[in-house]
Amino acid sequence: MPNPGGQMDKPPAPHTMEIILPKAVRRRINALRKLQVQCAHIEAKFYEEVHELERKYAALYQPLFDKRRDVVSGAVEPTDEECEWQSDREEEEELAEELKEKASLEEAKKEEATAETNPKGIPEFWLAIFKSVDMLSDMLQEHDEPILRHLKDIQVKFSEPGQPMSFTLEFHFEPNGYFNNAVLTKVYKMKSEPDASDPFSFEGPEIIDCEGCQIDWHKGKDVTVKIIKKKQKHKGRGTIRTVTKQIANDSFFNFFNPIKAPPNEELDEDSELTLATDFEIGHFFRERIVPRAVLYFTGEALEDDESFEEEELEEGDEEEQEEEADEDDDEGDLDPKA
């Protein structure tokens, strides 16, 4: 055993153990290691099947998401039954009384008021979500906001069976004065396969690469670049001329032009981090924003996160919090959608 000295917090690192243990035992441990590698390969197949399941369920969610899109855009006005919600019940009942009395008056009021009190659908639904979620508001620039007012829907599409594992984020826009694309896409390629050099680190599918799309900007509307004027003096003649230069500009829409890892080349640390953050954001759109958009619009999702954090803190002593953290890791590890 790696731990002859009795109780201790961490076992010795494997190489230490190699020294402590008799060769015959180390030999058997290697046999267990080889079995563990076989387990990792079975686990990879499990996650592939989970991915299939997700594709199957994506088709079951879609009609609900389409309905959401139509309510948000105003294309569909939900019925009273479709809008009945617990917390409103009492309010409704109170109103019922008044309404009986001055129904006709109400009608009149409504008509004239409609313009400002009854906008189309749910205005700026997606923009409000971008503003309320830190991970997204961090990317958001003021000049992005008027463009995102035209964002109608965000959808997740999974790779077809037999194709390499991937998912695509589709950002659907209504016709707008900024670009011609009706849909902007970001593809995230995934890998569900233990690394030969480090099979034990396998914790399920991971995003390994992403691809954006070309945005067909209207002239002068590209918010991802800015034009700066520069005076140049001619060496010989000393004449001065003004040249304009295009430089990169912060914008959410850079999301569709991600850093590319040059083939067989290491990225520098900054690019590594930028890409890692991009992967996180893609994962977050897929896992949270798209499946439960309304809860991010109302803030209910964020409140859940907060109350969850508070719970953790209430747990009291650090050790338990560490366990909580381990838990999160474990669950993360085994996330079939990761």
Least distance from its own copies to the Cβ atom of residue 93, Å: 15
Q: Scan for tokens 């890409």, then name that residue.
A: 275
Pinpoint the alpha helices (H) of the chain: 14-20, 23-73, 80-83, 89-117, 125-132, 134-137, 145-148, 269-284, 293-298, 300-314, 318-333
What part of residues 271-290 is at the interface with its own copies (CB under 8 A)? 273, 276-277, 280, 283-284, 287-288
Choice between 63 and 238, CB closer to its own copies: 63
Single residue of 22, 161, 262, 263 touching its own copies by CB under 8 A: 22
308 scored as a contact of its own copies (CB under 8 A): yes
- The rounded distance, in Å, linking the Cα atoms of 174 and 6 is 68
Choice between 184 and 281, CB closer to its own copies: 281
CA proximity to 29, closest of 42, 40, 14: 14
Helix axes 300-314, 318-333, angle to 10 degrees: 130
Single residue of 55, 106, 128, 261 touching its own copies by CB under 8 A: 128
Window contacting its own copies (CB under 8 A); options: 11-19, 181-189, 251-259, 260-268: 11-19
Single residue of 106, 121, 211, 226 touching its own copies by CB under 8 A: 121
Single residue of 103, 123, 182, 245 touching its own copies by CB under 8 A: 123
Distance linking the first and last C-alpha atoms of the chain: 35
Contact 44, 190 (CB under 8 A): no
CA proximity to 287, closest of 276, 298, 301, 300: 301
- The rounded distance, in Å, linking the Cα atoms of 16 and 19 is 5
Single residue of 64, 96, 228, 247 touching its own copies by CB under 8 A: 64
242 scored as a contact of its own copies (CB under 8 A): no
Choice between 110 and 218, CB closer to its own copies: 110
Single residue of 108, 137, 232, 260 touching its own copies by CB under 8 A: 137
Contact 202, 46 (CB under 8 A): no
- The rounded distance, in Å, linking the Cα atoms of 2 and 21 is 7
What part of residues 65-84 is at the interface with its own copies (CB under 8 A)? 67-68, 71-72, 77-78, 82-84
What part of residues 151-210 is at the interface with its own copies (CB under 8 A)? 200-201
Choice between 187 and 334, CB closer to its own copies: 334
94 scored as a contact of its own copies (CB under 8 A): no
